[in-house]
Structure formats: structure tokens, C-alpha cells
């Protein structure tokens, strides 16, 4: 493992971030898996599963609490009384349905905040890479899941990290069916 670039992985325990954790463990020395508790309804499951995944890979795991996300947000991911779109409600092939779903689950700048926190940990741990779990399907609706977003954030991190942390993601160009 020594001699390889160090990386920090953002881990929600979902498909994309889990695959990226295992891919990163093959390519880099993963020094930390970060999971965020921002008041999301699935927090309990995400935190438990992320801890198990990190342990399986042999990586340190840290939970970062961001309770203030609920202070300004009405996303169905955060508000108990709002249903999260599931099953037949989610049709990513339909642009109109996709936009309605996006509005329901949108959390402003969530990925930007997560990646900036990840980059801060990366710099502190002498890591050069921070790895989210993105995919091409979701990038069509959520621009902060896109390859373009990753490139622009990497440019920004050149100004805000002394070791020029970069954002990489093994699944960013893949559809969900290709990831499975």
C-alpha cells in the first residue's frame, strides 16, 4: 500500500459510493471513509452500513454531523412528513418526472459541501484524492453529480487546499445498470 496516492472516500453505503470505496481500495491507499449525517431519513442505516463497509475494506471510518442542513431545507430526504419518491414515482427516463423528483429531494450544495469537507480531511491526512459516489444517470438531473462539477471543484480546490486535492470518481460516466 505504501507508495500509492492517498485518498479519502465519501461513503453513504449506496451503490455508487460503495463501488467507489472498493475501486479506490484497489487503486489508492484509502486513509479515511467519511459518512455524513445531515439529518437524512436514512441516516441510521447509512451510518451502520458505511461503518461495516469501511471495516470490511480495512479503512478508518468517520461520521461528520451536519445538523444545520435541516435549518434551511425542505427536501423530502430531510423532512419526516414529506414522502421520498420511490418505485414507479421515479422514472429517470421521463424528463418531467425526473425534474419533479429532483425538486423533491434536492438539498442545496450538498455535494459541494461534502466534497469540500472531504478535501479538508484529505489535506490534513496528506491525501491527494477525494472520491464521491456519482453516476451519469443522476448527473442529468443533479448537476452536482456530474463530471463537469468534479472538474470545476478540482479547480477550486487548487485555491483552497495546499496540496491541491483532486476529485475523482470511478462511476461518474456510468449508468446505474453498468455499475451493477
* pLDDT tens for the 180 residues of the chain, in order: 568 999 999 999 999 999 999 999 999 999 999 999 998 878 999 999 999 999 999 999 999 999 987 776 564 444 455 554 454 444 545 545 545 555 666 678 889 999 999 999 999 999 999 999 999 988 877 889 899 999 999 999 999 999 999 999 999 999 989 998
Classify residue 1: in a domain, yes or no: no
Angstrom distance (rounded) from CA 54 to CA 56: 5
pTM of the full structure: 0.84
**Number of domains observed in the structure of the chain:** 1
Buried b (16+ CB within 10 A) or exposed e, 46-62: bbebbbebbeebebebe
Indicate whether 128 belongs to any domain: yes
Q: What are phi and psi of 3, to 5 degrees?
A: 95, -20
61-65 and 6-10 beta bridge pairing:
unpaired
Q: What is the CATH number of the domain that holds 160?
A: 3.40.50.620
SS3 61: strand
Establish if 140 belongs to a structural domain: yes
Residues 96 and 141: beta-carbon distance below 8 Å: no
State residue 135's pLDDT score: 92
Decide if 60 is inside a domain. Answer: yes
Local structure of residue 69 (DSSP, 8 states): G
Structural domain for 164, as ranges: 6-179
Amino acid at each position: 500500500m505504501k507508495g500509492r496516492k492517498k485518498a479519502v472516500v465519501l461513503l453513504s453505503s449506496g451503490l455508487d459510493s460503495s463501488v467507489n470505496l472498493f475501486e479506490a481500495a484497489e487503486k489508492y491507499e484509502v486513509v479515511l471513509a467519511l459518512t455524513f449525517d445531515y439529518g437524512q431519513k436514512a441516516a441510521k442505516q447509512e451510518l451502520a452500513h458505511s461503518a461495516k463497509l469501511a471495516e470490511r475494506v480495512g479503512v478508518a471510518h468517520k461520521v461528520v454531523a451536519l445538523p444545520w442542513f435541516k435549518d434551511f431545507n425542505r427536501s423530502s430526504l430531510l423532512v419526516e412528513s414529506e414522502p421520498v419518491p420511490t418505485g414507479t414515482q421515479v422514472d429517470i427516463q421521463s424528463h418531467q418526472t425526473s425534474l419533479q423528483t429532483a425538486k423533491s429531494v434536492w438539498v442545496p450544495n450538498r455535494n459541494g459541501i461534502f466534497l469540500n469537507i472531504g478535501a479538508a480531511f484529505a489535506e490534513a491526512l496528506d491525501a491527494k484524492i477525494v472520491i464521491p459516489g456519482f453516476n451519469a444517470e443522476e448527473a442529468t438531473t443533479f448537476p452536482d453529480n456530474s463530471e463537469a462539477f468534479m472538474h470545476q471543484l478540482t479547480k477550486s480546490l487548487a485555491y483552497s487546499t495546499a496540496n491541491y486535492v483532486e476529485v475523482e470518481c470511478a462511476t461518474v460516466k456510468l449508468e446505474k445498470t453498468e455499475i451493477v
